Amino acid sequence: MTAVLAVDGLHVGFRSGNETIDAVRNVSLSVAAAECVGIVGESGSGKTVMFLAAMGLLPKHAHTDGRIRFEGIDILGRTSRELNQVRGSRLAMIFQDPMTSLTPHLTIGTQLAEVLVCHARLPWRDARLAALDMLERVRLPQPARRLKQYPHELSGGMRQRVLIAMSLLCKPSLLIADEPTTALDVTVQAEIILLLRTLRAELKLATILISHDLGVVAGLADRIAVMYAGRIVESATTAGLLRGALHPYTAALLDCVPHLKGPRWDRMPFIPGSAPSASSREPGCAFAPRCAAVRERCRSERPLLGALGAGGPTERQVACHFPLAT
Amino acid sequence: MNAGRRLSANPAALGALVVLGALVLLAVFGPLASPNDIETLDWNHVATPPGLAAGHWFGTDRLGRDLFARALEGTRTSLAVGLLASLISVSVGVGFGALAGYSGGRTDQLMMRLIEVLSGLPLIFFVIFLTVIFGHNRYLLFLAIGAVGWLTMARIVRGQTLSIRRREYIEAAVASGATTARILVKHVAPNLLGPVVVYATLTVPQIILFESFLSFLGLGIQEPHASLGTLIAEGAAEMDAASWILWVPGTILAALLLSLHILGDGLRDVLDVRERESS
Amino acid sequence: MSDALLEVRKLEVRFGGFTALEDVTFHLQPGESVGLVGESGSGKSTLARAILRLIPPASGELVWSGDNMLAWPARELRRRRRDMQIIFQDPHASLNPRLSVGDTIAEPLKIFSGELSASERQARVSEMLERVGLSAAMAERYPHELSGGQCQRIGIARAMILRPRLLICDEPVSSLDASIQGQIVNLLADLQREWGTAVLFISHNLALVRHLCQRVLVIYRGRLIEIASRDALFAAPRHPYTHALLAAVPDLTRGFEAPAVWGQDASWGCAYHGRCRHAQGLCLTTVPPLQPVDPHHEVACHRWHEVVYS
């Protein structure tokens, strides 16, 4: 079964003055059709750079190694022109801030129809009808009215629905969403997540969901990859991960999420210290300075991402010398 | 400030700084080296081209006056006008603009109307008017130019202040109990530095050019003093016969303006990056 | 109620034709930790600023330890500011980029303790830096060199250096990673305990408020719709919006529940009726006032006694 997106040994670095910043270090993952993979990481984890790489949006001075293949086509090293044929149509994306992703001086209808006119070469009238249909699909209230409105007249949640609609117009096989609900209120966030869930089922859409919020990712993803300092440190099915994390970072992260049920904290848990800078080249595990279970070997030898289990979609991977017992 | 360090990494800006420095040194100390002054008429060397004859290194004009001395005097005048008039523009402009931008509301509106009215006045007439009333005084000229130059600076500063005023650290300063004066001085003004410095360095060449223009028309510097503008006016008349009388002051003026512009651009690149980093 | 640190009565704030806050009434006791929960546009940040008189209220009363705050002339207001401070959501934006860390923290000292010498000030600044978990050497650095968490600590140092009686925290950890939020929250709790500062903690993150605050105020479209002690609110919310908020929080142990009924905000009657599945008759015509459920629990809902939320 060919993966819709296959990332192999991806490495992304930037040179700034005398330093080299390695934002993504040797990351491999794949997304199968109709599967939703969640990438969880905090600031400095490299998740955003990975996102940009997957869409061919890295700045010119970035250098990359490894391969990214979308439906068999190589993404890295392609010109904008070549990529534009798949970007926006079969490879769709939604960004964090709905306001800045929409052109302020064009109506919603125009922006939506434009996608179809450019990619599917539809005449404007047909494109607008298709746009209306898609707005209904994403459960935007009063869709006909919205077509004539401007982005600033819509709320954040509505704008995000419009962006989702825009991304689905050309029937993509893969949707990449970078923090799609971070800028939204929690009630709106819940609605958007449910919408994405529904659409995934209806359209059999492969999705990559990138977020710092484990709760959001857990609500949507089949599999989760946790990134730290540019590498994947743990990868598992959502159910498996929530049952018990194997990597100390993942476990600590899970502990830090404030919960509504269960006993109240006297002191809020946190992970001491902060993530290493992307230019550091310390030997050993990047998480060692902050790890509660650190041992000598961790500081000198970097653990590789190893698989536990038979392989396939239920495979668990963890990069730790002493993974926590399940 | 590491801005200085960053600036030195820009070869064009560095070059401009060197040229500017050289011109200033020449203008200030040059006459000490020259045996001639700006007024003496040397009948033996009328309209001689540049050379080593009797110390007339840049040649003489058609009255036999040493062009080296006169060109440097002209440079001094231009630099002085650039500096003094800019200083006036900047201080008045920043004060006025910051106050307008920070006060907002009616005060701001009133102050802006004033600027608009003043902007509408033709500058030339204003200068002529002052000259008629007070006579041809060099310093009055500087004052007149500076008095008009502040308008654009005020507008720029007001715009910047309006955006700074809304920043959270200003709110924090108010919440800390700071008086308006303190906020303007400690919190608003330092953050205006970037655009003000950049605009100031770009105003200087404008002012110099304007003064040259006025002098070219005969409204500015009067005989026997020279400014690059008067020299160029003379030189234009003698273009066929004694071209050096034109291209000596012309080259100096061009070099001055060019290096100021390049320096201004360099400063903007350096200061803007800092702004971006710190915002 | 007469020993309350702060009393807000029927506070109203308007921006042009838009009413940002209406009929806001609550009190704050000395040393108390109160959460203010609401979503974007609810008016929570506006309320914070109105309390500090950073924006002028259109009507209502603000009473500080029995004193009418709105009657203070500018000079008196400035003087009193030392007792009420605020920390902001965006740690970098709240620090003047041109001032060093040390100068930023020293600002309140320069304003209120002018009698201190430079070295005394420096000593106080160093002491404060260490108190918030940073090294004294950090006084020489500039905000753009530091991380979000470090900048937030500096904001806290600046706010707390004069031991204010009230600290308003406007979403102080929302822009920080989950793994370091705890560092800041614990620091706030420690300082509060040590110096008896009352804290008004504004957040859209209900789960966070649950661990931090003794009482909770829920604000919706400029009105307080529920006020309760923490335990009462989380165990038995009485307002449909509070219930929707709680249901919408992603919980790792269960999936998402269906969010509240779709709809639009209404501009007549109860502002929430367009989204409320229990809306009836009176809800469409009359704005519900805050009514007591218990001595320490108020809710602004016409049907609170009829509907129960699990």
Q: Cβ of C179 and A253 within 8 Å? A: yes
Q: For residue B168, give the nearest of C79, C85, C94 by CB distance.
A: C94
Confidence band for C1, pLDDT divided at 50, 70 and 90: low
Q: What is the DSSP letter of B155?
A: H
pLDDT tens-digit readout, B138-192: 777 777 777 777 888 899 899 999 989 989 999 999 999 999 999 999 999 888 8
pLDDT tens-digit readout, C89-141: 999 999 999 899 999 999 999 999 888 899 999 999 999 999 999 999 999 99
With helix as H, strand as E and coil as C, how does B203-265 read? Answer: HHHHHHHHHHHHHHHCCCCCCCCCCHHHHHHHHHHCCCCCCHHHHHHHHHHHHHHHHHHHHHH
Please say if the pLDDT value at position B277 is more than 90.
no
* pLDDT at position C80: 95
Residue position matching structure tokens 């600290």: C167
Q: Cβ of A242 and C252 within 8 Å? A: yes
CB atoms closer than 10 angstroms to residue B131: 18
Confidence band for C255, pLDDT divided at 50, 70 and 90: low
**C82 touches B at CB < 8 Å:** yes
What separation, in Å, do the N-terminal and C-terminal C-alpha atoms of chain B show? 17
Q: What is the DSSP letter of C175?
A: T
Asked whether the bond before B224 is cis by omega within 30 degrees of 0, the reply is yes
Confidence band for C88, pLDDT divided at 50, 70 and 90: very high
* pLDDT at position C254: 63
Please say if the pLDDT value at position B278 is more than 50.
no
Mean pLDDT is highest, among B31-35, B119-123, B232-236, B268-272, for B232-236
* pLDDT at position C50: 96
pLDDT tens-digit readout, C260-281: 555 666 677 888 888 888 888 8
Q: Cβ of A190 and C181 within 8 Å? A: no
Mean pLDDT is highest, among B28-32, B264-268, C207-211, for C207-211
Q: Cβ of C178 and A259 within 8 Å? A: no
CB atoms closer than 10 angstroms to residue C93: 18
* pLDDT at position A309: 62
- Chain B residues closer than 8 Å to C106 by CB: none
Neighbours of chain A (3+ CB pairs under 8 A): C
Q: Cβ of C178 and A213 within 8 Å? A: yes
Q: Taking a C-beta distance cutoff of 8 angstroms, is the pair C238, C278 a contact?
A: no
Q: For residue C111, give the nearest of B176, B187, B278 by CB distance.
A: B176
Q: For residue C179, give the nearest of A189, A219, A271 by CB distance.
A: A271
Please say if the pLDDT value at position C35 is more than 80.
yes
Alpha carbon of B167: minimum distance to chain C alpha carbons (Å): 7
- Chain C residues closer than 8 Å to A187 by CB: 39, 244-245, 248, 259-260
Q: Taking a C-beta distance cutoff of 8 angstroms, is the pair C89, C172 a contact?
A: yes
**C185 touches A at CB < 8 Å:** yes
Q: What is the largest CA-CA distance in chain C?
A: 68
SS3 C83: helix
Q: Taking a C-beta distance cutoff of 8 angstroms, is the pair B165, B171 a contact?
A: no
Please say if the pLDDT value at position B274 is more than 70.
no
Nearest CA among C128, C17, C7 for reference residue C69: C7
Q: For residue A186, give the nearest of C185, C212, C248 by CB distance.
A: C248
Which residue does chain C place closest to A45, by CA atoms? C177
**Burial of residue B267, with CB atoms counted within 10 A of its CB: 0-12 exposed, 13-18 middle, 19 or more buried:** buried
Alpha carbon of C210: minimum distance to chain A alpha carbons (Å): 7
Chain A: residues touching C (Cβ < 8 Å):
42-43, 139, 141, 156, 185-191, 193-194, 212-216, 218-219, 242, 252-254, 256-261, 264-265, 267-272, 274
Question: Would you state the structure tokens that stand for residue C26, as one six-digit string?
Answer: 């609550």
* pLDDT at position A263: 81
* pLDDT at position A48: 87
Q: For residue B190, give the nearest of C52, C88, C98 by CB distance.
A: C98
Q: Cβ of A189 and C189 within 8 Å? A: no
Q: Cβ of C183 and A270 within 8 Å? A: yes
Looking at every residue in chain B, the average pLDDT score rounds to 82
CB pairs under 8 A between B and C: 69
- Chain A residues closer than 8 Å to C89 by CB: none
Phi, psi (rounded to 5 degrees) for A69: -120, 125
Mean pLDDT is highest, among A123-127, C8-12, C252-256, for C8-12
Q: What is the mean pLDDT of residues B15-37?
A: 83
Phi, psi (rounded to 5 degrees) for A210: -110, 130
- Chain C residues closer than 8 Å to B186 by CB: 96, 99, 107
**C39 touches A at CB < 8 Å:** yes
- Report how far apart, in Å, the C-alpha atoms of C17 and of each of A46, B130, C110, C265, C286 are: 45, 50, 40, 17, 21
Q: Taking a C-beta distance cutoff of 8 angstroms, is the pair B153, B200 a contact?
A: yes
Q: For residue C211, give the nearest of A186, A190, A264 by CB distance.
A: A264
**C310 touches A at CB < 8 Å:** no
Q: Cβ of C88 and B190 within 8 Å? A: no
Q: Taking a C-beta distance cutoff of 8 angstroms, is the pair C8, C24 a contact?
A: yes
ipTM: 0.89
Long-range CB contacts for residues A24-29, cutoff 8 Å, separation at least 24: A24/A49, A24/A50, A24/A53, A24/A230, A25/A229, A25/A230, A25/A231, A26/A66, A26/A231, A27/A66, A27/A227, A27/A230, A27/A231, A27/A232, A28/A66, A28/A232, A28/A305, A29/A225, A29/A232, A29/A235
- Chain B residues closer than 8 Å to C99 by CB: 186-187, 190
- Chain B residues closer than 8 Å to C108 by CB: 176-177
Looking at every residue in chain C, the average pLDDT score rounds to 90
* pLDDT at position B217: 77
DSSP C16-59: TTEEEEEEEEEEE-TT-EEEEE--TTSSHHHHHHHHTTSS--SE
- In chain A, which residues have pLDDT < 50? none
**C86 touches B at CB < 8 Å:** yes
Nearest CA among C273, C301, C275 for reference residue C288: C301
Give C153's contacts (C-beta < 8 A, 6+ positions apart): C132, C133, C134, C184, C187
Q: For residue C179, give the nearest of A42, A186, A261 by CB distance.
A: A42
Give C241's contacts (C-beta < 8 A, 6+ positions apart): C218, C220, C225, C226, C260, C272, C275, C276
For the ranges A207-211, A302-306, C4-8, C65-69, the lowest mean pLDDT is seen at A302-306
Please say if the pLDDT value at position B279 is more than 50.
no
Sign for the pseudo-dihedral over CA of C243, C249, C253, C255? positive
Q: Taking a C-beta distance cutoff of 8 angstroms, is the pair A14, A20 a contact?
A: yes
Q: Cβ of A212 and C181 within 8 Å? A: no
Which residue does chain A place closest to C147, by CA atoms? A274
